[in-house]
A = this chain, B = another copy of it.
Amino acid sequence: MQKVKIALLGFGTVGTGTWQIINDNKDEIVKHCGYEIEIAKVLVQDTSKKRSVDAPAEVFTSNFDDIANDDEIEMVVELMGGIDQAKEYILEAIKRKKHIVTANKALIANYGKEIIEAAENENVKFFYEASVCGGIPIIHSVKESLTGNKIQEIIGIVNGTTNYILTKMTKEKVDFKSVLKEAQDLGYAEADPTADIEGYDAAHKLTILASLAFSSPVNFDEVYREGISKIDKIDIEYADQMGYIIKLLAIGKEKDGEIELRVHPTFISKNHPLASVNDSFNAVFLKGNAVGELMFYGRGAGDLPTGSAVVGDIVSILKNRHNPYSLTQFNNNLPNKKVKDMNEVTCEYYVRLMVDDQPGVLGKIASCFGKNDVSLSSVIQKGENVRPVALVFVTHYTSEGNVQRAIKEIKAMGEVIEVSNIIRLENGKK
């Protein structure tokens, strides 16, 4: 059996998961590619630290040069996270003609173009399936299986932490803060949950997916981003009454050569395939002009699911390392498609207000929407002659710019106590 030597950078959750898979599923891997994979070196900060898997002491090193200088190591698997150091190591490994596998979404979302250019120049492979939705083979599918399609939309539940929180808020009718606290206690959410809760993680993943799906380089800062911290359990109740569920969606659409890119909490119909994706599961739904509707569902994080994607990439590289065709394509040489300004994006909107219940207030607000070209599809008023009273409006399709202008005027009205929330709808119509 021919052995191939690889090195891991980092030995946290995904690193140990990858170690475990390569050792436990050795037979399967050999059947699939004909090679035995040997993890010859693992870069860690502290080589004496006790590990949860039974790895021999001599593979650990805290010196990257031990890996870079070892010509027998053909592949470097970057699982350390962070940006600058990871980038430096990867570029150095590429220079040494080592193939690269990485799970680092932030790195690719920010420097994918540069790294892939370097990999192509040195004729090494660069695979990154694990960077988006853990074990779900979405990147491979878009790059390899859906190549006959013009992809029109790609909509994902790509962050497990926020999906866990929203599912729990929905099923148990509890508020955001208490669920977040519980998720932190259980280790499902980080001590500083900003990256998940405020949608940065989802926006990184959308950057990568959209770039592949729409064959256009996408910059992370072009993604509109809004998190779930403002979602109140009352919003979830209104959604339920109207036949919707609230999910944090990463939405990419292409129409007439322009792209929409946005991450925000969204009302989706209970009949949509994404609506039943619960707990910490991830899913990516897409529409192609040939394949129609397609959805991929699975575990988006965790040691073994993410390790599954890492090992899949390692095996793919082993099968392809003598393939002269570059498979790393990140659409480097393609023209940038225009990303729509958020104000030009059209949606339906749910708007919840608290107002003084004075005669004429509903009419005044409705007129203000109308004046700004926002037409209403439904209004719900609950309670009467109380202060404050909740008013909920759902609009027809209109532009973000129109809605924001109307909201600004409505906020200024004396009768309006607060604009409690504005949430976009997604029903697949446009």
Contacts and interface: CB of A to CB of B under 8 A. Distances in A.
A319 B291 CA distance: 21
Nearest to A312: B145
A324 interface: yes
Contact of A148 (B143, B215, B293, B315): B315
A137 interface: yes
A311 B231 CA distance: 43
Interface stretch (A48-56, A178-186, A294-302): A294-302
Nearest to A20: B290
A320 interface: yes
A270 B21 CA distance: 32
Contact of A149 (B28, B215, B329, B331): B28
A29 interface: yes
Nearest to A286: B298
B28 A145 contact: no
Interface string A275-315: 01000010000001111111111110010110111111011
Contact of A136 (B294, B305, B308): B294
Interface string A163-198: 000000000000000000000000000000000000
B292 A294 contact: no
B319 A290 contact: no
A291 B304 contact: yes
A3 to B, nearest CB: 17
Interface of A: 17, 21-22, 24-25, 28-29, 31-33, 129, 135-137, 140-141, 143-150, 215, 273, 276, 281, 288-299, 302, 304-305, 307-312, 314-316, 319-320, 322-325, 327, 329, 331, 334
